[in-house]
Structure 1
Amino acid sequence: MALKASLQLRLGTQLTMTPQLQQAIALLQLSTLDLRQEIQQALDSNPMLELEDDFGEQQAQETTDDDWADEIPADLTTDSEWEDTFQDLGMAPAGSGEAPDFERQADSQSLQSHLSWQLAMLDISPAENRIAESLIDAVTSDGYLDQPLEDIHEGLLGQGLEPLTLSDVEAILKRLQQFEPTGVFARDLRECLSLQLDALPRETPLLAQAGRLVRQFLEALAADDRRMLKRRLSLDDDQLDSVIRLIRSLDPRPGSQFGDNSSDYVIPDLIVRHSAAGWQVELNPDAMPRLRIQPDYAALIRRADKSQDNQFLKDHLQEARWLLKSLSSRNDTLLKVGREIMARQIDFLDHGEEAMKPLILADIADKVEMHESTISRVTTQKFIYTPRGVFELKYFFSSQVGNDGDAHSSTAIRAMIKKLIQDEPPRKPLSDSKLVELLNATGVNVARRTVAKYRESMHIPSSSERKRLR
């Protein structure tokens, strides 16, 4: 068969992702803080963009020396502060405009830095200091030593610290276990509690029995085997209760009081308010800065001018218009989806979590005529402020439990279980079977394994454990 070239005409369609569409999708999935950074980068790189007003800026008002009193007023109240009347002339550190906030620095101190500060107070050799630093690096946020001493010993040998024996590492560990907080550098819970008991005064009642219980019968205490504990420790009921109270007064996580105490603040994208017309959902005006085209630079563009400077202004003007259109599209989509979600969960605003309804992404996607992937982008890391708190939009989606005629939200069922357990008698906690009966009485038909799964997901112990803990 002879081969020959020929021309053919075919018709077809394909979806092309334009740069504008790519930018709109990228902005849609950004959180508020990430979007602020993106806008700030655009403001720094595009001269055609500017803020409509001084977003986030406040005029600082300087205080002159004449505003402060020179003499103590005769009618000064007893609960007034010194700074309210007199200027604070305390010395500030060199090169700084204000004195350090020692209280804030102490609150934000990490466990490792606190241990390193205590290490600096020890009079030890440089080799011993290296061993101590390796041990501090191996301490977890709870204060436990999670690496075997053998591994730490081998690591130090690999760093050229010779001669070094395992006994040398153990000796430094014994000294570090005297650090604050008491119980730090323990290798397990038993050792952590023992270190804290050893630090108590010797005249503490029943201290010896508590130490023996921790060293030998901690598993029996966890199993609440009181009969065996009384027999082995030669204690009566009152004495055993005193020993258990003493042990429970100890801290099983001594390092938890340290760490990063900085708060993570969330800026809501939407706000729900109640008015005479009902619940209203609107955009948060303080969440995003308002941008506009810089009029002076835009006036410099000439239509027929093909110079490099004029083309530079044209390109940046087009980019600025694309960004403004993408931001407007993001706000419209976010508001549209947010209003539809709250319309479905209007009972939550009136009655709380127990009134939540089953909701999936497809329900919102069908109503607003968007793809489910778009709804997922809109609801991820987007928050709404309600009278009941600030929630991520994804919080209002939950699976359905039960048939269509008797369907309930899994979030609502969790809230019901939590409320029933909170209101249960302390001496007679509700079992999972009893919780099923109470839920069935309210019209919520669930299986016992479902109740157990939801209870465990909320980190609520079983009825026997709750009774023992109380």
Structure 2
Amino acid sequence: MKAAIRANLVQGVNLTPQLLQSIRLLQLNSLQLEQELRQTLERNPLLEQEEPGDDAKASGDADSATLEAAAWDELPEPSFLSGGGIAGGDGDDATLRIAGQASSDPRVRLLEQLALQWNQRDLEMAAWWLDHCDDRGYLEHSVAELLALGAQAFPQWVDDLEVVRQRLLHGDCPGVAAVDAGECLRAQLALHTDCGLRTLAMRILGEQLPLLAAHDDAALAAALDEDIEHVRAAVALILTLRAHPIEILPEPDTAVVPDVVAWHAGGAWRVALNQRTAPRVRIAAHCERALAGNAGSHGGNASSHAVLRGLLDEARWLVRGLAMRNDTLLRTAQVLIERQRAFLDRGEEAIVPLTLNEVAEAIGMHESTVSRIVNGKYIQTPRGTFELKRLFAVRLEGAEVAGSAVRAMVKRLIESEPAAAPLADDVIAGLLARQGVRVARRTVAKYRDQLSIGPARARQRLPGRAMAG
């Protein structure tokens, strides 16, 4: 065997301590950042909190931050939030080792859990399926449409796409990636141990969903040729299941402090960081001067001088990273508000499709940076306080409008319908088409289900009932 020397050129990202700290600061929400700074101020005597009004040094830090932003823009993006596959193949993404709080998105947490058990290929396809689920875990389009789309994203694995969806559907979060409520409930029922009741409940969900929605146990028993008590027991079992694959529960005891504030003044929308959640720190000037004056001293004080020098470097990295975080957050919020002015002026129906990539291009950064900076951050507007992520919207397939805007239109049409003559799904689709929004009847039904609104016949039976929205 002949020995040979071969040179390989490999492109990678060198995660320096400064870069790791900058990324970590970028991901922190307001409460985490406040705690982080408090602990750092107690540990590092060279740092002090900056008083309001002293903006000169902070401005210089922000300018330097802009020049260094490209350092983290080269990092691989989080696949789920960016809408693509997991980058890097089998390589180790060093950013995954960065400590940080768990995501507030249950779909992201599910991916993190699956990463411990699934191989890289299946994990990429799982991320793709979850990308095409709404906030409650249902698929946003039919399986046939998504499989056709998936064939373009994974041409070499197209035969395994549905297999991965079934694994998600019957996995650790049963019902996720379901087409509708029936498939979601059947996936949960499959895990139940009472085979007798489970079989009858499966029949009800598969054959008599309208009678189940009408709460007509007698009609169910007659249609299934079963004893009414047995039917009631099966219905009771169904009612113990989750109505949606992912339940989004309110947190009434948690006060939300906005990171960004937006308001309308002088005919334009303006954006500013909430100073309460954007504290500033600086290096104590006398300490820095003292260290600079003793730079040439050696001997017995050498070890203590080295410790202080390390603290000074740590302080400089923190000040710089904090300025980078605040600058990136403000610029991202400015683009979001600029692109979604119509939503702020007129409401949910006016929200336009907007992706991470579009915002990233506008601020000259990578999608991964935008993903990190919007995660867990809130904005206060005249329309309420909500997560920055709400200002992103997925384009409805084959249309120029956002899916969330169409859902709001469906809600408005149903709320304004005559009580004695509720609108059927195909009628609503026709009314939307007159407004230039062409959607299929099944799309209307999907959005109606997401709004927890029953079909036309159910609304006609209870004309005075307030519908959940």
In which range does the TM-score fall when normalised by the shorter chain? 0.5 to 0.7
Asked if the contact 1:402/1:445 (under 8 Å) is kept, the reply is no
**In 1, Cα distance between equivalents of 2:443 and 2:212:** 30
Q: Give 1:411 shift.
A: 1.0
Q: How does 1:215-226 map to 2 (within 5 A)?
A: 222-223=215-216
Any gaps of 5 or more consecutive residues in structure 1? Answer: 56-217, 230-251, 254-258
2:38 aligns with 40
**In 2, Cα distance between equivalents of 1:397 and 1:423:** 27
1:319 aligns with 314
**In 2, Cα distance between equivalents of 1:349 and 1:260:** 23
Change (3 A) 1:262 1:387: closer
Which of 30, 49, 55 does residue 47 from structure 2 map onto? 49
1:291 aligns with 281
Which of 452, 455, 458 does residue 465 from structure 1 map onto? 458
Q: After alignment, is 385-394 or 454-463 more displaced?
A: 454-463
Task: Give 3-state SS (helix, strand or coil) of 1:408's partner.
Answer: coil
Q: Give 1:379 shift.
A: 1.4
1:384 aligns with 2:374: no
TM-score (structure 2 length as normaliser)? 0.54
**In 2, Cα distance between equivalents of 1:10 and 1:419:** 61
**In 2, Cα distance between equivalents of 1:51 and 1:17:** 28
1:340 aligns with 335
Asked if the contact 1:431/1:463 (under 8 Å) is kept, the reply is yes
**In 1, Cα distance between equivalents of 2:362 and 2:52:** 38
The amino acid that maps onto 2:295 is R
**In 1, Cα distance between equivalents of 2:2 and 2:396:** 68
**In 2, Cα distance between equivalents of 1:368 and 1:316:** 33
Asked if the contact 1:298/1:313 (under 8 Å) is kept, the reply is no
**In 2, Cα distance between equivalents of 1:284 and 1:47:** 26
2:419 aligns with 426
2:324 aligns with 329
Change (3 A) 1:25 1:276: same
**In 2, Cα distance between equivalents of 1:398 and 1:337:** 15
Give the percent of matched residue pairs that are identical in Structure 1 and Structure 2.
Answer: 41
1:371 aligns with 366
Task: Give 3-state SS (helix, strand or coil) of 1:292's partner.
Answer: strand
The amino acid that maps onto 2:297 is D
Task: Give 3-state SS (helix, strand or coil) of 2:290's partner.
Answer: coil
Task: Give 3-state SS (helix, strand or coil) of 1:15's partner.
Answer: coil
**In 2, Cα distance between equivalents of 1:373 and 1:397:** 15
Change (3 A) 1:3 1:224: closer
Q: How does 1:166-181 map to 2 (within 5 A)?
A: none
Change (3 A) 1:220 1:391: closer
TM-score (structure 1 length as normaliser)? 0.53
Asked if the contact 1:398/1:410 (under 8 Å) is kept, the reply is yes
Q: How does 1:178-189 map to 2 (within 5 A)?
A: none
- Cα deviation digits, residues 118-175 of structure 1 (max 9, x gap): xxxxxxxxxxxxxxxxxxxxxxxxxxxxxxxxxxxxxxxxxxxxxxxxxxxxxxxxxx
Task: Give 3-state SS (helix, strand or coil) of 2:262's partner.
Answer: strand
1:309 aligns with 304
Change (3 A) 1:311 1:221: closer
The amino acid that maps onto 1:361 is L
**In 1, Cα distance between equivalents of 2:361 and 2:214:** 56
Change (3 A) 1:418 1:363: same
Q: Give 1:366 shift.
A: 2.1
Task: Give 3-state SS (helix, strand or coil) of 1:407's partner.
Answer: coil
1:450 aligns with 443
Task: Give 3-state SS (helix, strand or coil) of 1:467's partner.
Answer: helix
Asked if the contact 2:278/2:326 (under 8 Å) is kept, the reply is no
1:270 aligns with 260
**In 1, Cα distance between equivalents of 2:307 and 2:267:** 50
1:355 aligns with 2:350: yes
Change (3 A) 1:349 1:426: same
Task: Give 3-state SS (helix, strand or coil) of 1:359's partner.
Answer: coil
The amino acid that maps onto 1:443 is G
1:141 aligns with none
Paired residues, what number?
277
The amino acid that maps onto 1:31 is N
Q: How does 1:26-175 map to 2 (within 5 A)?
A: 26-53=24-51
2:23 aligns with 25
Asked if the contact 2:29/2:376 (under 8 Å) is kept, the reply is yes
Q: Give 1:342 shift.
A: 1.4
1:438 aligns with 2:431: yes
Q: Give 1:29 shift.
A: 1.3
- Structure exhibiting the larger radius of gyration computed from Cα positions: 1
**In 1, Cα distance between equivalents of 2:252 and 2:342:** 34
1:182 aligns with none
The amino acid that maps onto 1:16 is N
Change (3 A) 1:3 1:21: closer
Task: Give 3-state SS (helix, strand or coil) of 1:300's partner.
Answer: helix
Q: Report the aligned-residue RMSD.
A: 3.4
The amino acid that maps onto 2:330 is L
The amino acid that maps onto 2:279 is P
Change (3 A) 1:219 1:52: closer
- Cα deviation digits, residues 442-470 of structure 1 (max 9, x gap): 11110011111111112222222223333
Change (3 A) 1:431 1:46: same
Change (3 A) 1:223 1:39: same
Any gaps of 5 or more consecutive residues in structure 2? Answer: 54-210, 223-238, 241-248
Q: Give 1:435 shift.
A: 1.1
- Cα deviation digits, residues 245-280 of structure 1 (max 9, x gap): xxxxxxx99xxxxx9985211111111121215111
**In 2, Cα distance between equivalents of 1:220 and 1:2:** 76
